Amino acid sequence: MEANFFKQLARMDMDSRIALTIAKATEDTLVVSILVQNDGCGDKAKNIIPPFNLTGTPDELDSVFFEQIKKPVESASGLMSNMENFMKQVEEAKKQSAMEKEKADKEKKEKDAKSKKYNDAMAKAEALEKEGKFKEAWTALPKSSEFPENADRIGEKQNLYQSHFPPDLFATKEAEPETEKPFFTEIDVFPINK
């Protein structure tokens, strides 16, 4: 008689290891306890999966052992594999969440810094405006290219400040059309007395 116990174990679909405990229950019966274990599974829920127990005579166990254990062992093994995959995905989600939170925090800090820069520049320009220093106020304004969302407000302030600039002495005026002036003007003729 050929024993094919290990060949049948090898054909089972499982990613875990099994621990078999065999004990005599009575004079003619045995109890076989099968515990499925997976050290790679980090979920503690694996520890509440109970062992699968079979009780029978040696002949009964020989005839139905693999039929009886196949489904529960494969199911427990698959469950542990799924638990491990689940735990890995949870850890990955935590990392992604931390990365997203870090990215959002960074974006918020950058936005806050940009907002502070804009507000500081506007406050400085308005302080100079109150002092009547319109050219300095115009120069202190933030650049529209750096703050496109505030370009209208910046443009309004620029126009306001420019309206207070003194006239430019070097600005070119539009040339007035010259009217022809006669070379000679009328001269009063006085008689010459001789």
Domain ranges of the chain: 5-94, 114-162
> Residue 53: beta bridge partners?
33
- 44-69 per-position pLDDT tens digit: 777 777 888 888 888 888 888 878 88
The tokens for 1 are: 């008689």
For residue range 71-93, list pLDDT tens digits in order. 877 777 777 777 777 777 878 88
Least confident of 8-12, 117-121, 153-157, 173-177: 173-177
Cα–Cα dist 146/161, whole Å: 20
Residues 131-152: pLDDT tens digits? 888 888 888 998 888 888 988 9
- The answer to whether 125 and 157 are in contact (CB under 8 A) is yes
**Count of Cβ atoms closer than 10 Å to residue 48 Cβ:** 6
Phi, psi of 33 (to 5 degrees): -110, 125
Q: How many helices and strands, by DSSP H and E, does the chain display?
A: 4, 3
Residue 116 confidence (pLDDT)? 92
Taking a C-beta distance cutoff of 8 angstroms, is the pair 41, 17 a contact? no
d(CA 114, CA 142): 11
Q: Where are the beta strands (DSSP E) in 57-181?
A: none
Give the span between the Cα atoms of 10 and 73, in whole angstroms: 13
User: Contact at 8 Å (CB) between 38 and 16?
Assistant: yes
Residue 91, token pair as written in the block: 């850890």
Alpha-carbon distance of 66 to 13, in angstroms, equals 12
Other CB atoms within 10 Å distance of the CB of residue 174? 5
Percent of the chain with pLDDT over 90: 7
Question: In terms of pLDDT, which residue wins out, 13 or 21?
Answer: 21
| 87, 42 contact by CB (below 8 A) | yes
